Amino acid sequence: MTEPFRVPLSERFHEAAAQWADERIMEEDAALEAKAEQALLEIEHLVANAQDVDFEVIDDGDAIHYEPSTALAEFLEEQAETSGVDPETVLRLYVDLFAGAFLSDDSVTPEA
């Protein structure tokens, strides 16, 4: 087992969750949880082929408490060593990267 991470959620993440809530006519708390699940699941799936994640939104929606799979923890450690930051920061960056996934403007492609 790996140690749980505390992943702060960025303003960009909160904006994506608010957009998700607007697009799906749902409460922002539920949208925040949905976006967190999407981001973590995408990351775990890409690294460890995981199909499920268990996490908790904490600090009134300002962070996620998450224990990564062994494969993801090892990947984050490698990335942290390469980039000179801690594994939690690497995970935070990936979560922020995937914040915009599945939003309506995520399907917009650049003009040729």
Q: Where are the alpha helices (DSSP H) in the chain?
A: 11-24, 28-48, 70-83, 87-97
Residue 102 has a pLDDT of: 73
Tell me the pTM: 0.87
> Measured between alpha carbons, how far apart are the two ends of the chain, in Å?
47
Domain count, the chain: 1
Q: What tens digit of pLDDT does each residue of 23-45 get?
A: 999 999 999 999 999 999 999 99
Question: Could you tell me the residue range of the domain that residue 18 belongs to?
Answer: 5-104
Of 50, 49, 53, 51, nearest to 33 by C-alpha is 53
Say if 89 falls within a structural domain. Answer: yes
Radius of gyration from C-alpha coordinates of the chain: 14
Say if 111 falls within a structural domain. Answer: no
Say if 110 falls within a structural domain. Answer: no
Say if 68 falls within a structural domain. Answer: yes
Say if 100 falls within a structural domain. Answer: yes
